Amino acid sequence: MLADAIRSETYRLSKNRTALFWSVLFIPIISVVLGVIAIIVAKAHEADLAGKLPPELLQRAPLNLAESLVKSAADFANPIVLLFILIGAATIYAGDYRWETWRLISARNTRPNLLTGKVVVVIGLTVLATVAGLLADIVTHLVQAVILSRSLSFSTDGAGFTDFVQLTLLSWARIIQFTMLALLAATVTRSLLAALFVPLVISVAQFFLPQMLMQMGVSPEGWVAPLLSPGLATDLLKAVIHGGMEAAGLPPQAALKAVTGLALWIVGPFVAAVAYFKRQDLSKE
Amino acid sequence: METVIDIRGLTKTYGTVRALDGLTLSIPRGGVYGILGPNGAGKSTLFRTLLGLIRPTAGDATIMGGPIGAPTSMRRMGSMIETPRFPPFLTARQVLEWLGRAHGGVTSTEIDHWLQRVGLAEAADRRVRGFSVGMLQRLGVAAALMTKPDLVILDEPTSGMDPPGIQEMRALIRSLADNDGVTIILASHQLQEVQRVCDRVAIFNKGKVVTEGRVSDLTAAGERLRLSVTPLARALAVLGDRASLDGDAVLASVPRAEGPAVIKALVEGGVDIEEARWIGADLEDVFMDQTGWTGVQELNHAG
């Protein structure tokens, strides 16, 4: 039954080219285009810019693709990427309210299955967006290597494959966390705009929250801070991945607290949305 | 009589409005069952409640042996509530594919069959954003029927359709009931259509059932004997307050069983009878009578 719900939602998304373009392809395409333009401009004005650009951009040293991918993975869950992934997530979560199609589909499967099916498809969408973003990064570096006559290397001395995987998973979890807020917002408000903007507003609030908590005397190493701020939890985990607990100067329990905080912000909105949706009147979607 | 739906004291309130007011009704298995009523009588609210889209304030119902919303019952039901809407970027075929997958899968042969049967074969690969209301209705009916349900709920299935479409839909509904053993419950404001296609009807008013029964019984209850007679005055005198004038004829409001006795009394009273025939009340008369609705009231209310 859940598999049916996933198949149905996947099929519908596969036909929604607009949502797929904006949530998966737009940012990678733009990043490749802007990246290539920047490289061409840099090449054309190499002599003029010699003292003004970062030396590594114009040096002839090999480009380390592994290091670059790790950096991209770590920074992937940024607000711009988030905004465009949320377009797809909001369309999936609020679409049946917007098109008044709950009345057609809710009789064909159970409500928890239908909502869980949407979540699985959105998770798939974020995987696609993550992979597309990383592929765009590789393409940009290949073009950079060709135009600037630089060789490519894949040295994992500084940042290994484990780091890459961990940071990718962390970025991905952060994006999933926001899509879960979109799910809850869409279910409660039945509005596509709310599904899009509520997570963005919360992401802005979470940006300032760690500083506010510290000003209020809340220690980032305790339980309260990572539970209240998944952004802080993510930053703690990044620090742990980059340097280990000791290098990051964190107590042994910090990683566990951060993982717990992030997991609660993913599971909590999902459970709340399913519980609410099970009892929701669909008299007028 | 085996029932497919048993409704017991179903109530749904929206603020101070009682859309369903302690509704109790048993719908038999098989055939076509009509739900009639003026706007706001509670027809769509009942359908939405039976489909689990809204929760009743009080009361309950059993559908094919299970409670409202039971997955086993729901999967044996098909429905179309009001004018259906679909994701605008999908084609008609893709709509059925999408809904079919949620149900566990429907083959492309079945999808083609239903598109053909509702007259959408030529528009199968057109996006639904350009569909007329009638085409959306047809697609909604195909979506309701494609999973071979035992029970189908159709809310205004012919709304927005042209006359040939209405005729085709009527034939389809009757065929499903007669040949495939499907129980069909439909609501419609087109009383002539209901009279033609339904076996039984329930008439709703203000969230309650005001009358229920076989269409033939309900219309027979309003039957009158139309008599072309001379002299008129003597016939009126014999029939007393059971008679009324209908042009040059007399209408006698008597049960069919009393017909021969009435004719005998007229003949013995010296009345010549040129023609005597029963004229039935149509469903519209029954509807007007039971709901207290008049066109004048409706117009005044609308104005």
A7 touches chain B (CB under 8 A): yes
Contact list, B48 vs chain A (CB under 8 Å): 103, 282-283
- Searching chain A, which residue's CA lies closest to the CA of residue B95? A12
The answer to the question of residue B298 being in a domain is no
Residue A247: the pLDDT is: 62
Please indicate, yes or no, whether residues B85 and B172 belong to a single structural domain of this protein.
yes
Torsion of the alpha carbons at A119, A122, A128 and A134, rounded to the nearest 10: -100
According to DSSP, the β-strands at B243-246 and B249-252 are antiparallel
Domain count, chain B: 2
Contact list, B55 vs chain A (CB under 8 Å): 279, 281
Q: How far apart are CA B144 and CA B242, in angstroms?
A: 48
Helix-helix angle A192-215:A161-189, to 10 degrees: 120
Please indicate, yes or no, whether residues B228 and B205 belong to a single structural domain of this protein.
no
Q: Answer yes or no: are the C-beta atoms of B32 and B173 closer than 8 Å.
A: yes
* Owner of token pair 């209901």: B194
Flag residues of chain A having pLDDT under 70: 49-61, 156-160, 220, 244-250, 283-285
Contact list, A11 vs chain B (CB under 8 Å): 94, 97-98, 101
Taken in order A148, A152, A156, A162, is the CA torsion positive or negative? Answer: positive
Residue B93: the pLDDT is: 96
The answer to the question of residue B156 being in a domain is yes
Q: How far apart are CA A74 and CA A237, in angstroms?
A: 11
Element (H, E) at B262: helix B259-268
Q: Where are the beta strands (DSSP E) in chain A?
A: 63-64, 152-153
Q: How far apart are CA B101 and CA A6, in angstroms?
A: 9
CA distance A198 to chain B (A): 24
Please indicate, yes or no, whether residues B155 and B110 belong to a single structural domain of this protein.
yes
The answer to the question of residue A171 being in a domain is yes
A15 touches chain B (CB under 8 A): yes
Please indicate, yes or no, whether residues B237 and B117 belong to a single structural domain of this protein.
no
| pLDDT tens digits in sequence order for chain B, 303 residues long | 789 999 999 999 988 888 899 999 999 999 999 998 888 888 989 999 999 999 999 999 999 989 998 888 888 899 998 888 999 999 999 999 999 999 888 899 999 999 999 889 999 999 999 998 889 999 999 999 999 999 999 998 888 888 888 888 888 899 999 998 999 999 988 888 888 899 999 988 888 898 898 888 877 777 788 899 988 888 888 888 888 888 888 888 888 788 889 899 999 989 999 998 888 777 777 777 777 655 444 444 433
Please indicate, yes or no, whether residues B167 and B203 belong to a single structural domain of this protein.
yes
Q: How far apart are CA A202 and CA B181, in angstroms?
A: 55
Residue B69: the pLDDT is: 86
The answer to the question of residue B294 being in a domain is no
Please indicate, yes or no, whether residues B78 and B122 belong to a single structural domain of this protein.
yes
Tokens of B43: 């027809």
Element (H, E) at A7: helix A2-15
Residue A245: the pLDDT is: 62
The answer to the question of residue A82 being in a domain is yes
The answer to the question of residue A159 being in a domain is yes
Please indicate, yes or no, whether residues B148 and B69 belong to a single structural domain of this protein.
yes
CB pairs under 8 A between A and B: 84
Residue B294, Cβ density class (10 Å: 0-12 exposed, 13-18 middle, ≥19 buried)? exposed
Q: Which domain holds residue A107?
A: 2-278
Please indicate, yes or no, whether residues B209 and B238 belong to a single structural domain of this protein.
no
Q: Answer yes or no: are the C-beta atoms of A42 and A57 closer than 8 Å.
A: yes
Q: How far apart are CA A73 and CA A234, in angstroms?
A: 13
Please indicate, yes or no, whether residues B143 and B275 belong to a single structural domain of this protein.
no
A18 touches chain B (CB under 8 A): yes
Contact B84 A12 (CB under 8 A): no
**What CATH number has the domain bearing residue B240?**
3.30.70
Q: Answer yes or no: are the C-beta atoms of A232 and A197 closer than 8 Å.
A: no
A283 touches chain B (CB under 8 A): yes
Q: Which domain holds residue B46?
A: 3-214
Last residue of some domain: B178, B194, B214? B214
How many of the other CB atoms lie within 10 Å of CB of B41? 24
The answer to the question of residue B8 being in a domain is yes
Domain count, chain A: 1
The answer to the question of residue B203 being in a domain is yes
Residue A61: the pLDDT is: 64
The answer to the question of residue B197 being in a domain is yes
The answer to the question of residue A284 being in a domain is no
Nearest to B53 among A1, A106, A110 (CB): A106
This model of the complex carries an ipTM of: 0.83
Contact A101 B85 (CB under 8 A): yes
Residue A51: the pLDDT is: 66
CA distance A25 to chain B (A): 19
The answer to the question of residue B291 being in a domain is no
**How far lies B186's CA from each of B38, B40, B80, B264, in Å?**
14, 16, 9, 44
Nearest to B189 by CA among B201, B177, B206: B201
Please indicate, yes or no, whether residues B180 and B137 belong to a single structural domain of this protein.
yes
Q: pLDDT tens-digit profile of B52-81? A: 999 999 999 999 989 998 888 888 899 998
Please indicate, yes or no, whether residues B166 and B228 belong to a single structural domain of this protein.
no
Nearest to B32 by CA among B114, B124, B151: B151
Contact list, B53 vs chain A (CB under 8 Å): 102-103, 106, 281-283
Please indicate, yes or no, whether residues B200 and B247 belong to a single structural domain of this protein.
no
The answer to the question of residue B292 being in a domain is no
Contact B53 A279 (CB under 8 A): no
